[in-house]
Amino acid sequence: MPELRKDPITSRWVIISTERGKRPSDFFPEPERKKGGFCPFCPGNEGKTPPEILVYRNDGGQPNSPGWNLRVVPNKFPALQIEGDLNRQGDGVYDKMNGIGAHEVVIETPNHDETLSTMPENKVEEVLWAFRDRILDLKKDPRFRYILVFKNHGEAAGASLEHPHSQLIATPIIPKRVREEVDGAKDYYDYKERCVYCDIVRQEQSHEGRLITENQDFISIAPFASRFPFETWILPKIHDPFFEDAQKHEYINLSRILKEILMRMDKVLSRPAYNFIIHNSPLREADVPTYHWHLELMPKLTRVAGFEWGSGFYINPTPPEEAAHFMREAKI
């Protein structure tokens, strides 16, 4: 029988459609179409991107020239622009402001055909350090209230370029989804005097049915109220509101568990397109100690349709316990 499951953080309900019971072989992701042709992110084409704002190199070298390991550049077609004032206004019942923010691209490797699952662990770690470095710089701007780090891998997940990259967007408002999580975590803390995410970590470690893998600093699970088949969360075991406050050993272990999860996903789901998002604490709020940063990873296996848009429910055809089992059993 299908189940309705309630997310303990946002109170969002999800339908786990157990009668559909889709296994990994039931998903047939469309093969990615290799576009080929010119790539502005490949070495030698540095002049085709905006000037870099962060670069990692082994042996120095001139800015905006080959020889780099990782580059961060402003998005050439930004969703928000960094110059100007917010100029908040009201128009009757409507509110508006200028589209001020920052939109940056992390070019993760000079190798066009690499992915986070095939890179060496130390290269995955460099990507995480780049996220940290850019967050620490952008949070100095008093106009910004939130910085979202995300990755679209594959055409089905919204990637417009094949070359491996991820993005950061700083916004002058806190996104609604993040606000729901922050408020839900605070409500839980006010009621129980405990962090809901820390409770989830403890319960999933003892339950083990949705536990995929863990290491010294992180746990990876299929969340109880998964919105999507094979949705996966990575959470710090120790309470921490801010991704950018992590220590070196934590970035090392985060790179290990992230690479491992992506390798397992590639094995189980035949290299699917996916999105991942780092949900971090807002920049300037007194109550964020009740929040717990984490990474959410969603392979693109199903489509959101009319019922989901109209109701706010998600229908997940693969129970998270089954998804976790397949992921744990994958031979990598």
Q: Would you please indicate which residues are annotated as catalytic (active-site) residues?
A: 165
Q: How many CA atoms lie within 13 A of 72 on its CB side?
A: 25
Q: What is the Cα–Cα distance from 239 to 197, expressed in whole angstroms?
A: 8
**Which residue reads 């790539």 in tokens?**
39
Q: What is the Cα–Cα distance from 20 to 22, expressed in whole angstroms?
A: 6
Q: What is the Cα–Cα distance from 33 to 262, expressed in whole angstroms?
A: 20
Cα distances (angstroms) measured from residue 285 to each of 97, 242, 292: 21, 12, 14
Tokens of 314: 């998600």
Tokens of 14: 């999800």
Give the SS3 label for residue 247.
Answer: coil
Q: Quick one: how many helices (H) and strands (E) in the chain? A: 6, 15
